[in-house]
Amino acid sequence: MGQKKLIRFAEIATFPNVLQYPSGMPGNWAAFFKNANPITLELACGKGEYAVGLGKLFPNRNFLGVDLKGNRIWVGARKALEEGLSNVAFVRTQIDKITDYFSAGEVKEIWITFPDPQLRTSKDKKRLTHPVFLRRYQQILSADGYIHLKTDSPDLYDFTKKVIELYNLKLLEDIPDVYAFRQTNPELQIVTHYEGLDIAGSRKVHYLRFGLTDGLNAVIDKELHDWVRNEPIKAVQKFD
């Protein structure tokens, strides 16, 4: 590990807005934030651009960036501290352990912004909008909660739409090209590090907002996997 990363890891251990693999948090986030405002998660938050950006837009809501890479979390956590955003914090952990940190219905919204699309067919279950993950989110989302996906990967966008269709989820908003949409809300104008890089080379950003239902039947997973196996890849993305 490089010296810069070591320094950042040491620093985030002292940040009051960073929790690393915390215990005893389900049901206790109101005490942590010192208010009972709704909680929004940014999963695979990287440098936390969305957690910080949303925190500025909505001071009466709480935002948590979740990622495993502490050197990236350091960027967003430090910015939130510098800007006095007491409604923004970060949790360093694996996303597949997300149910360890929240009680049922404790989360209002989830943002998934420019995640690794995991394009290999053998890795489709690692896509953050795969039902394997959606079932975890369902355990912590409120009944009226929903999920946002913002991605420049046409493959992840199409995959998620297929998931919504197959599992009869509630599609609330579908914007195929955010840049071409003239009535974009302020939330979609936040730009992440990866968005600026245009890794997919598509020059398009896709957006979906959807709600979960009780219909995430695992029996359908095979049908989804067969669809992935037969669907041609539109773009190749590389993440460091």
Distance of alpha carbon 205 from alpha carbon 198, whole angstroms: 9
Give the phi and the psi of residue 212 in degrees, each rounded to 5: -95, 160
| Predicted TM-score (pTM) of this structure | 0.92
CATH number assigned to the domain comprising residue 57: 3.40.50.150
Sheet bearing 206-211, strands edge to edge:
18-20, 88-92, 62-67, 39-43, 107-113, 141-151, 206-211, 170-175
The answer to the question of residue 105 being in a domain is: yes
Rg (CA), the chain: 17
Neighbouring CB atoms inside 10 A of 18's CB total: 23
The CA distances from residue 82 to 69, 145, 205, in Å, are: 20, 30, 30
63 is in which domain, residue-wise?
3-230
Written as tens digits, the pLDDT of the chain (240 aa) is 677 888 888 899 999 999 999 999 999 999 999 999 999 999 999 999 999 999 999 999 999 999 999 999 999 999 999 999 999 999 999 999 999 999 999 999 999 999 999 999 889 999 999 999 999 999 999 999 999 999 999 999 999 999 999 999 999 999 999 988 766 688 998 887 766 665 445 578 999 999 998 879 999 999 999 999 998 887 654 544
Asked if residue 240 belongs to a domain, the reply is no
Active centre residues (catalytic): 116
Nearest alpha-carbon partner for 92 in 154, 12, 29? 12
Is residue 56 domain-resident?
yes
Whether 236 is covered by a domain: the verdict is no
Question: Is residue 153 included in any domain, yes or no?
Answer: yes
Q: How many domains is the chain partitioned into structurally? A: 1
Tell whether 205 is covered by a domain.
yes
In a domain, 237, yes or no: no
Residue 238 lies in a domain: no
